[in-house]
Amino acid sequence: MSTAEAGGVFHRARSRTLDAFPAEKEGEWKGPFYFILGADPQFGLMKAWSTGDCDNGGDEWGQEIRLTEQAVQAINKLNPKPRFFVLCGDLIHAMPGVKAVFSGHYHRNAGGTYQNLDMVVSSAIGCQLGLDPHGLRVVVVTADKIVHRYYSLDELSEKGIEDDLMDLIKKK
C-alpha cells in the first residue's frame, strides 16, 4: 500500500463512528468520564541514569517494575473505574535478554532480524491489507528459545496448537 493509499484509508475513517457497541453502552454521550494516561515506564533508565551512563546499561529493571506494579495497584483501587488506560512513551530503555519484539498494526505478517533481535509483525484479527488470513500468533517461550507461529482463526479453532509447540510448552 502506498502512502497515498494509506492516507486515503485513514481519511475515510476520520468522521466515522463505531456502532459495534450497543448505543446504551458506548454509542451516545452519557456524561463525563475519565481515563488514565501513564507514560514512560522506560524499564532500565533509572539504573542507567543513576550511574550516569544512559547510553549503555539499563540492564536492571527492578525499580521500574515495582513502580509499574504500584501504578496498576493504584488504578485498580479507583472507584469509579477509569473508562480505559493508555500507556505511551518509552516502554524500555534497554533490552536485557530480549530476543524478539512482537507487534501488530501493519495488518499483514512481516518481520526481520537486526543484530540478533527478531522483529515479528503479526497480521490482524480484523481487516487484512495483505494476503494473510484473519488470525493470531502463538508464541512459546522456553529457557532456550522463542518459537512463534501464525494461525488463521479457522485453523486455530479447528486444529488447535500444533504438537511441536505443545511439546515445548510441556517441557520443564
Q: Per residue in 42-65, pLDDT tens?
A: 888 888 888 888 777 677 889 999
Instruction: For 121-152, give the DSSP string.
Output: E---SS--SSSPPSEEEEEEE-SS-EEEEEEE
CATH architecture of the region 33-170: 4-Layer Sandwich (3.60)
26-30, 51-55, 77-81, 136-140, range with the lowest pLDDT: 26-30
Q: Is residue 10 scored above 50 in pLDDT? A: no
The SS3 call for residue 166 is helix
Determine the distance from the C-alpha atom of residue 41 to the mean position of all C-alpha atoms in its chain, rounded to a whole number: 15
Cα distances from 63 to residues 42, 46, 56, 67, 93, in angstroms, run 10, 7, 17, 6, 13
Residue found under cell 495483505: 130
Domain boundaries, the chain: 33-170
Answer whether 0.95 is exceeded by the pTM: no
